[in-house]
Amino acid sequence: MPGKMKNKLIVQKYGGTSIANTKKIKNVAGRIIEYTRRGNKVVAVVSAMGDTTDELVSLAKNINPEASEREMDMLLSTGEQISSSLLAMAIHKQGIESISFTGAQVGIITDTDHTQARILKIETDRIKKELTKGKIVIVAGFQGLSTALEITTLGRGGSDLSAVALAVALKADLCEIYTDVEGIFTADPRIISKARKLKYMGFDEMLELSSRGAQVMHTRAVEVAKKFNIPLHVRGSFTKKEGTIIMKDTPSLEEPVVRGITLDENEAKITLCNVLDKPGIAARVFNELASQDVNVDMIVQNVGRRKTTDISFTVPKKKLTKVLKLSRDLAKRLGSGDVIFDDKIAKVSIIGVGMKSHSGVAAKCFSILAKNKINIDMISTSEISISCVVKKEVGKKALKTLHKEFKLDKIKM
């Protein structure tokens, strides 16, 4: 479909690996120009080149490990400014008009929450003016201008968000997300060699996949695309092959029940033992963690024995030290028992909108794991996903087994 696009307005986003060096920037320039030759107008959003952001972060850490978020935004926003101007130069080199803009210049207005600002609105006048002149517009992703006239950044996956938000504001016909993988796969192809690229995927499935560990796209960008019903084409920047189109209603009548499996090895499990089993205790525990900005994922409360219960939950591994300290404080105040943890876990999740109308998917999942002698430590389910925590050493095996048994290596769409 997009290969034959004509006279459309297309917003494209190129990630850091797609523009990691000058040669790749030239390639991207060529790709963009191809689109405009067919009468399309293109707005390209770029991330920082390759490791630029990491290098800037390490400079800052060397100077002040607790640098203010306002100054971090000043610093990090330069990465995208550099790549956007270089891409405009590469396009000029081929004789085509182009102009680069910072987030502030194109009027991406955000709140004042530095390092994770939310986009409030986009003033599209300047972009539209340049598009009308026939120019290719390059926008530095990941950044905006706050209502206090400060430079802000949008947090992880921020450039995806810039692209989707621009697509919404400009009423673009399509938003393409170029990345270093060729689309959305049934599982991580680096682990499952037989993983298949999906042609279509629903917004909700993509949201589940992202929040269950697939790192192709960040949830916030998918949420905005879903809200404004902007189809996203996730595709590889080093290939002409089509990738995966993420959209509201996928065109197939009969969907496979399970469409993707993820493995997340970045979580740790914490258990509060012998917590008094009375109403309000769990709420208190998780309110306290939320107030400290800790994102708890799975929560399991064991059946109480006598008058106490055990509460287990998972958190990102890098927050483990902080959460353990908080939890031990809390346990002391609640008069409960030990706080134990396990950072050698893996979370395997199966995802698919088809599950909603098919019973028995969970049972099948558990019995596949049981048959393969994989012990399940925690379980949580949603309408379109089932997640199981297992020991880390059997995580990959669980992923492979489920991928095979649910026949994802033979999936068609």
Q: Is 71 a residue that touches its own copies (CB under 8 A)?
A: yes
| Least distance to its own copies, CB of residue 288, Å | 29
Give the nearer residue to its own copies in terms of CB position, either 86 or 214: 86
Query: Which among 284, 282, 315 is positioned nearest to 298, based on CA atoms?
Result: 315
Roughly what angle, to the nearest 10 degrees, separates helices 395-405 and 361-371? 130
Give the nearer residue to its own copies in terms of CB position, either 23 or 344: 23
How far apart are alpha carbons 211 and 176 in whole angstroms?
A: 21
Q: Tell me which of 8, 92, 328, 392 binds its own copies, using CB under 8 A.
A: 92
Q: Tell me which of 34, 38, 54, 93 binds its own copies, using CB under 8 A.
A: 93
| Least distance to its own copies, CB of residue 82, Å | 5
How far apart are alpha carbons 137 and 151 in whole angstroms?
A: 20
Give the nearer residue to its own copies in terms of CB position, either 74 or 376: 74
Query: Interacting stretch for its own copies, rule CB under 8 A, among 65-73, 115-123, 310-318, 331-339?
Result: 65-73
How far apart are alpha carbons 140 and 83 in whole angstroms?
A: 7
Instruction: Supply the DSSP string of 75-114, one letter for each residue.
Output: HHHHHHHHHHHHHHHHHHHTT--EEEE-TTTTTEEE-S-T
Query: Which among 162, 48, 36 is positioned nearest to 98, based on CA atoms?
Result: 36
Q: Is 33 a residue that touches its own copies (CB under 8 A)?
A: no
Q: Tell me which of 74, 300, 340, 379 binds its own copies, using CB under 8 A.
A: 74
Q: Is 187 a residue that touches its own copies (CB under 8 A)?
A: no
Q: Tell me which of 70, 128, 194, 391 binds its own copies, using CB under 8 A.
A: 70
Give the nearer residue to its own copies in terms of CB position, either 71 or 342: 71
Q: 3-class SS at 183?
A: coil
Q: Is 135 a residue that touches its own copies (CB under 8 A)?
A: no
Q: Tell me which of 34, 64, 276, 284 binds its own copies, using CB under 8 A.
A: 64
Alpha carbon distances (Å) from 106 to 59, 100, 101, 127, 159? 28, 9, 6, 6, 14
Q: Is 124 a residue that touches its own copies (CB under 8 A)?
A: no
Query: Which among 142, 71, 136, 68 is positioned nearest to 104, based on CA atoms?
Result: 142
How far apart are alpha carbons 146 and 372 in whole angstroms?
A: 53
Q: Is 96 a residue that touches its own copies (CB under 8 A)?
A: no
Q: Tell me which of 20, 75, 108, 378 binds its own copies, using CB under 8 A.
A: 75
Q: Is 137 a residue that touches its own copies (CB under 8 A)?
A: no
How far apart are alpha carbons 167 and 55 in whole angstroms?
A: 30
Query: Interacting stretch for its own copies, rule CB under 8 A, among 79-87, 355-363, 368-376, 394-402?
Result: 79-87
Give the nearer residue to its own copies in terms of CB position, either 66 or 393: 66
Length of the chain, in residues: 413
Contact 32, 45 (CB under 8 A): no
Q: Tell me which of 17, 105, 302, 380 binds its own copies, using CB under 8 A.
A: 105
Q: Judged by CB under 8 A, how many residues of this single chain contact its own copies?
A: 35
Q: Is 60 a residue that touches its own copies (CB under 8 A)?
A: yes
| Least distance to its own copies, CB of residue 149, Å | 7
Q: 3-class SS at 7?
A: coil
Task: Give ∠ CA 406-234-267 in degrees, rounded to 5.
Answer: 60
Give the nearer residue to its own copies in terms of CB position, either 23 or 410: 23
How far apart are alpha carbons 261 and 331 in whole angstroms?
A: 35
| Least distance to its own copies, CB of residue 167, Å | 23
Q: 3-class SS at 222?
A: helix
Q: 3-class SS at 202?
A: strand
Q: Is 63 a residue that touches its own copies (CB under 8 A)?
A: yes
Q: Tell me which of 86, 127, 209, 230 binds its own copies, using CB under 8 A.
A: 86
Q: Which residue has the tokens 């690229």?
A: 197
Q: Is 26 a residue that touches its own copies (CB under 8 A)?
A: yes
Q: Tell me which of 9, 33, 56, 294 binds its own copies, using CB under 8 A.
A: 56
Q: Interface with its own copies by CB under 8 A: which residues?
A: 22, 25-26, 56, 59-60, 62-64, 66-68, 70-72, 74-75, 77-78, 81-82, 84-86, 88-90, 92-93, 99-100, 102, 105, 149, 151
